[in-house]
Structure 1
Amino acid sequence: MRTTVGIIGGGPAGLLLARLLHRAGVDCVVLESRTREHVERRQRAGMLEQGTVDALRAAGAARRLDLEGLVHHGIELRFDRERHHIDFPVLTGGRTVTIYAQTEIVKDLVALHLASGPPLLFGARALAVDQPESDAPVVRFLHEGRERRLVCDWVVGCDGSHGVARAAFPAAAARTYTHDFPYSWLGILAEVPPSCEELIYARHERGFALHSMRSPRISRLYLQVPNGTAADDWPDERIWDELAARFAIDADWTLNRGPVIAKSVTPMRSQVHEPMRHGRLLLAGDAAHIVPPTGAKGLNLAVSDVRVLARAFDALHTTGSARLLDGYSDQCLERVWQATRFSYDMTRMLHAQPDGDAFDHRMQLTRLRRITASRHAAAELAANYTGLPLPT
């Protein structure tokens, strides 16, 4: 097989990149190791920055998003049994965020690809990227029981932090920065209408809690738990009781309870791989960076990578200039580190620190008081949360 851009990974990053390239007249092939059924079931993030929504619209992939997405105009911070609203449009000049599950984005993009898009091979497990420094890198992959070769002008790895794309970087040519947090998130999907109109971020002495949603009928909630916690250690009733305690305020508010339909534990980690390009191999999304979910940046960072890449490949295709591709890694990493910093700060501010003391507790409350009392501080949070604009 031969193509201009070989894309490893059929998650939202790989699929969106392929869609944008196809619309720009750049041929590509997507290799996804899992089945279609698997990728369309994976539960992931659901908060979309304004730029992510714009990118999906530009790709012609926002029909259901515009019909079903829940536009949010802010978030609520809870601490000391108080509630404080952060108004995004007022603080950012009109920017909002939208709740629309990553699972649905993948379904939308897969349907578009299969109807009129570039080749998308499910069950195609990439084995290695050979000769990434050459003008014709090769992706070796296993498909339908036999090994095959995809010869490319360029390869883009959207296959996560443990994928073959990152592994193809020589150790001497790359560095990975990692920080593991001393706690995890216990997350549930519940078949119950949300108890709030916008996301609630709650800081409590017993640990952090987050109230989100997937639709007007499905709630998504999280609890801070110790690392090593098993989901089965928490019966449903215990989860609801703990959520109610951490969300409690001195006002009339009730947490809706309902059947738990999914339960999982997610470790918290920050990780950045530098650079994001080696030869003609480029990384995007989780293959290059991972952030804790507190700042809701993971999916949105992947989409911003893809937007930069698509623009760079379009420039190469139409003008022959590789200038934007040459600047891809530096441009993306500047944004990645800002998002990593924001996610780290949000995580440290809102989570009970296992080794913390009374001083740490007071510092967390002081940071929260600063945000809720200062328009400048609230505007900085709102700008980062809704998404920093891409450089022109």
Structure 2
Amino acid sequence: MTPLHLGVDFALRSGDNSIVKLLLEFNADCSAADDAGKLPFDYIPTTGFEHEQLRQLTHTNVEEPARNNNNHDHGDSEGTQAQIMDNNNHDHVDSEGTQAQIMDQEPRNNIHDDSDAKQAKMDALDEELSKIVGLRDLKQQLRKLAKGVLLDKKRRATGINLGPRKKPHMAFLGNPGTGKTTVARILGKLLHSVGVLSSDTVIEVRRTDLVGEFIGHTGPKTRKKIEEAMGGILFIDEVYQLAPARSGSSRVDFGVEALEEIMSVLEDGDLVVIFAGYNEPMKQVFSSNEGFCRRVTHHFKFEDYSTQDLAELLTLKMTRQDEMSRLYGFKLDKGCTLDAVVSVMEKNSNEQLRNKMNGGLVDHMLNNARENLDSRLTFDSKGDDLFTIRLVDLEAGLQHVSQQAVKVWLGDKQTNILNLQLL
């Protein structure tokens, strides 16, 4: 698109024609088509009094389409219009006749009125959400948000000036390994793709990234991170570490200053902030700032993974591998069905271990499974055998994780934590 196309788009959404007027004042070319072959005028609805001035501005300045003929004498706007219509074998000379002819045409497609493109965005969103295990409520809320944003674009394309949507600031509550950071990274792409954010950047921070050691250091340090995240997502992990110290403490805590700095940009800042942490400690954050619950309207609880969830996560990791993954190029044997992996999970781990490690259990299990595969193979092995992880490898990998966990926890004399049969 040309700047004038974008100016018309802005005018349709905002009702403000000043950008179009300014561009025309500096001789913006109304006859320049976009990649779809459309002029700026083509995107203005042909009905509605509120668009009359915009139609006149962009149409009366259209030059003759025969742009390679430089010998035409373009006179006033009335003559120019007549020339355009003559080129199309229409005998409309005055501007009134031209406007009547335009009004008789079928309504033109608006820049944003592309149903197929919008549906494609929703399909892409569903594809990304399929990479997230569980969290049905989160997925449903994201679908509603994305659909609402896309429908608002369609509404604005009709010329209605809608109020702005508030940024969907969120709180992620859950134990380690439940996918909070992974979901935040996916969210950056999703919210950018549907137009909620202008960037897919996700800046991940903790207390040490925000809080300074001395008075006067925390504010600038926090503002720097906020500026880095502008247009995208600021993901604050273990945010409860910024909450005020419990009553009775005399120590100076600069975390409060950092939290207040972040809260100050929630209303008008061009970013989405995600506050993440354990369930119970997060309650302290909610109660420490009276504006928190008012500004952070989306709360999502990341439940501990069930054996079914862990089996699905394992399958996803093996079928949608990143090139940087240690398991890139490896695959699961056909015998590693979802039910078979669930059975291995239930047999070789207990609930306490699963809840303590969650998704981390799958990562350790797969890494150990690869090592078990290496120990099974010989240098005479060839073909798929070199790359195929079997059920026996998964079982050995999980047993190793369980045994190591027991050793660590027994070292802490927490003998009642795990079922000793895991040994």
Calculate the TM-score normalised by the size of structure 2. 0.22
Q: Going by fraction, where is helix more abundant, 1 or 2?
A: 2
Rg larger in structure: 2
